[in-house]
């Protein structure tokens, strides 16, 4: 495989030559029903990716196909699936795809078949979840568990929380919901205190998640919770399972009901389809729902192997994002799901994207001289319309938009007002926004003038069910991976989080040796040790 910086490729030069056409792309003429019907790529789980409202014509698409070929996106993806060391800095394989199915060769690591290992853990926590849901594993006082509380931060929190919220109403509607899930993440003691006070601890099982078993926030919150359990007369060991790596201090520890394992080849932000997401989702909704979620993701992973960019939604999304980031020079992008169930999905994508590609050096540690990962933010529509859309429509910067919408809601509980149900109003708003952003509106009063030319894409499907959610998640994971290949980055490490950890320890030890740290500590009332 050939790893070269993006600005050293022939495609970089070619795309630069096409920039004037991209800047003058006129949606008010080009965005018609024919383009909307044609500009679609299939996704897994019954979803489709529609990119009609992107400023890309035939020459740009052709150059993007050349870029995909030149940077060997599919070759590198296949190498990753086959278990090559793609996280080069940390010298690790990248195996989250293997959690949901085999798309590459058998991966053997130190004599262990990792596909089998992941399946075995899936089977183990599925069985555990079934027993809890059946009331066969019970708490100290003999009561069944009604609540599951995840203790974790970052990838052990954002993804699982977003997935739980995304499926909660679907599971209620379909009779799958058994346990309520809660999440403790922040080291701010108000977080753990409030969650612990909101549940009956005797009916609660905690899921402690830390791959390394050394995450400061998570260990503090574990002891916080154990203290509460003990004070309530309960045995902590009967109310907690661990999700960790086999080499962590939490592994095979009799202090927990059971432990389920991942390994160093499952990055935190890519761990929703591992035990990190699997235990809590299986407890809440059952292993079958989690299995359907994995199936959707696996189907998406297979579609992502397609070499024709027009048939590969993840690659196409990645390339259009590169076109907007590096050539049209848009520094941020907004994710706008028209589904209340996806209320925290943008927060998960924020981590997924910004932690993966928020890098300034290439995979060999040399500084790059082009922009990499953008700022990602978002809130559900229609809420965002009454908030930050003003800037999206009429601000001085252009921000590309990722819309998501579904024909049906999840709860099948709706009311007709003024001739339409709320679901129709929701989608009418979505449709209207795409057109308004792209086409704008002329007006003699410049205050009421909409310049248009604000690009978007739309992921749409019938309903947000487990398979559709798995597809959606894997789409973005793979999109981010492909962008990392284009930018020649290592999307799988996060060295940028280390300095803060080191300085925090110095502050807590009271020996920072830095007058700035001492002065700020004084402002925040930190007493010196």
Mind telling me the catalytic residues?
355, 386, 501
User: Does residue 219 belong to the site contacting a copy of itself (CB under 8 A)?
Assistant: yes
Footprint of a copy of itself on 256-285 (CB under 8 A): 268-269
User: Closest Cα partner for 46 from 345, 303, 383, 258?
Assistant: 303
Instruction: Give the binding-site size for a copy of itself (rule: CB under 8 A).
Output: 156
Of the residues 139, 154, 321, 484, which one makes contact with a copy of itself according to CB under 8 A: 154
H or E stretch covering 404: strand 401-406
> Quick one: which of 46, 89, 213, 453 contacts a copy of itself (CB under 8 A)?
89
Least distance between a copy of itself and beta carbon 145 (Å)? 20
**CA 91 – CA 94 distance, rounded (Å):** 10
Per the structure block, which two tokens stand in for 139? 């708490």
216 part of the interface to a copy of itself, by CB under 8 A: yes
Question: Which of 287, 296, 400, 405 forms a contact with a copy of itself (CB under 8 A)?
Answer: 405
Interface with a copy of itself (CB under 8 A), residue from 9, 126, 409, 483: 409
The residues pairing with 243 across neighbouring beta strands, listed in sequence order, are 209, 260
State which of residues 5, 70, 121, 157 lies at the interface with a copy of itself (CB under 8 A). Answer: 157
Q: Which is nearer to a copy of itself, 47 or 148 (CB)?
A: 47
Contacts of 13 (CB under 8 A, 6+ apart): none
Least distance CB 261 / a copy of itself (angstroms): 21
| Span interacting with a copy of itself, options 77-85, 106-114, 299-307, 347-355, rule CB under 8 A | 347-355
Out of 492, 506, 511, 513, the only residue in the binding site for a copy of itself (CB under 8 A) is 506
Q: Which of residues 40-59 bind a copy of itself (CB under 8 A)?
A: 48, 50, 52
> Which position among 24, 33, 91, 513 is part of the footprint of a copy of itself (CB under 8 A)?
33
Query: Which residue's CB is nearer to a copy of itself, number 291 or number 521?
Result: 521
Q: Which H or E run contains 421?
A: strand 420-421
**Would you give the binding string for a copy of itself spanning residues 427-456, x where CB under 8 A is met?**
xxxxxxxxxx-xxxx---xxxxxxx-----
Residue tagged 């922009």 (tokens): 371
Which 3 state secondary structure label does DSSP give 48?
Answer: strand
Using the CB atoms, write b or e for 26-59: b if 16+ within 10 Å.
ebeeebeeeeeeebbbebbbbbebbbbbbbbeee
| Of residues 108-147, those binding a copy of itself (CB under 8 A) | none
Closest Cα partner for 333 from 403, 405, 406? 403
Binding mask 315-334 for a copy of itself (x = CB under 8 A): ----------------xx--
DSSP codes joined into one string, 444-464: SSGGG-B-----EEEEEES--
Separation CA 96–CA 474 (nearest Å): 10
Binding window for a copy of itself (CB under 8 A); candidates: 62-70, 279-287, 290-298, 494-502: 494-502
| Residue whose C-alpha is closest to residue 49's, from 302, 402, 341 | 402
């Amino acid at each position: 495989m050939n790893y070269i910086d993006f600005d050293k490729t022939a495609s970089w030069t070619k795309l630069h030559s096409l920039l004037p056409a991209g800047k003058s792309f006129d949606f008010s003429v080009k965005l018609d029903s024919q383009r909307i019907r044609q500009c679609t790529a299939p996704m897994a789980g019954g979803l489709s990716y529609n990119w009609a409202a992107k400023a890309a014509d035939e020459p740009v698409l052709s150059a993007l196909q050349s870029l995909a070929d030149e940077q060997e996106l599919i070759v590198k993806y296949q190498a990753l699936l086959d278990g090559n060391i793609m996280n080069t800095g940390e010298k690790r394989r990248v195996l989250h795809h293997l959690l949901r199915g085999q798309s590459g060769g058998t991966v053997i690591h130190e004599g262990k078949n990792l596909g089998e290992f992941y399946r075995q853990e899936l089977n183990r926590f599925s069985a555990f979840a079934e027993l809890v849901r059946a009331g066969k594993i019970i708490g100290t006082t003999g009561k069944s568990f009604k609540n599951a509380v995840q203790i974790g931060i970052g990838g052990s929190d954002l993804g699982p929380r977003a997935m739980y919220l995304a499926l909660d109403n679907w599971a209620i509607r379909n009779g799958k919901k058994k346990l309520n899930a809660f999440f403790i993440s922040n080291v701010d003691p108000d977080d753990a205190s409030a969650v612990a006070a909101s549940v009956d601890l005797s009916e609660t099982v905690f899921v402690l998640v830390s791959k390394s078993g050394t995450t400061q926030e998570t260990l503090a919150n574990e002891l916080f919770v154990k203290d509460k359990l003990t004070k309530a007369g309960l045995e902590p060991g009967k109310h907690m399972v661990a999700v960790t790596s086999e080499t962590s201090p939490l592994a095979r520890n009799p202090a927990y009901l059971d432990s389920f394992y991942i390994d160093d080849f499952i990055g935190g932000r890519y761990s929703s389809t591992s035990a990190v997401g699997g235990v809590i989702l299986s407890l809440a909704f059952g292993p079958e729902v989690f299995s359907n979620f994995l199936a959707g993701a696996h189907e998406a992973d297979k579609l992502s192997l397609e070499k024709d960019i027009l048939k590969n939604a993840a690659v196409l999304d990645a390339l259009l994002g590169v076109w907007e980031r590096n050539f049209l020079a848009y520094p941020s992008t907004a994710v706008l799901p028209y589904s209340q169930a996806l209320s925290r999905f943008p927060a998960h994508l924020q981590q997924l994207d910004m932690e993966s590609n928020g890098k300034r050096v290439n995979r060999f540690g040399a500084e790059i001289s082009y922009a990499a990962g953008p700022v990602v933010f978002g809130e559900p529509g229609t809420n965002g319309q009454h908030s930050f859309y003003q800037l999206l429509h009429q601000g001085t910067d252009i921000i590309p938009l990722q819309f998501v919408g579904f024909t049906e809601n999840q709860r099948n509980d709706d009311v007709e007002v003024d001739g339409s149900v709320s679901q129709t109003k929701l989608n009418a708003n979505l449709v209207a926004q795409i057109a308004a952003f792209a086409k704008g509106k002329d007006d003699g009063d410049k205050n009421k003038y909409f310049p248009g030319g604000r690009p978007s894409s739309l992921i749409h499907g019938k309903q947000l069910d487990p398979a559709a959610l798995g597809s959606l998640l894997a789409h973005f994971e793979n999109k981010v991976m492909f962008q990392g290949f284009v930018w020649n980055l290592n999307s799988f490490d996060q060295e940028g989080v280390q300095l803060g950890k080191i300085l925090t320890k110095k502050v807590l030890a009271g020996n920072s040796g830095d007058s700035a740290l001492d002065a700020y500590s004084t402002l925040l009332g930190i007493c010196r040790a």
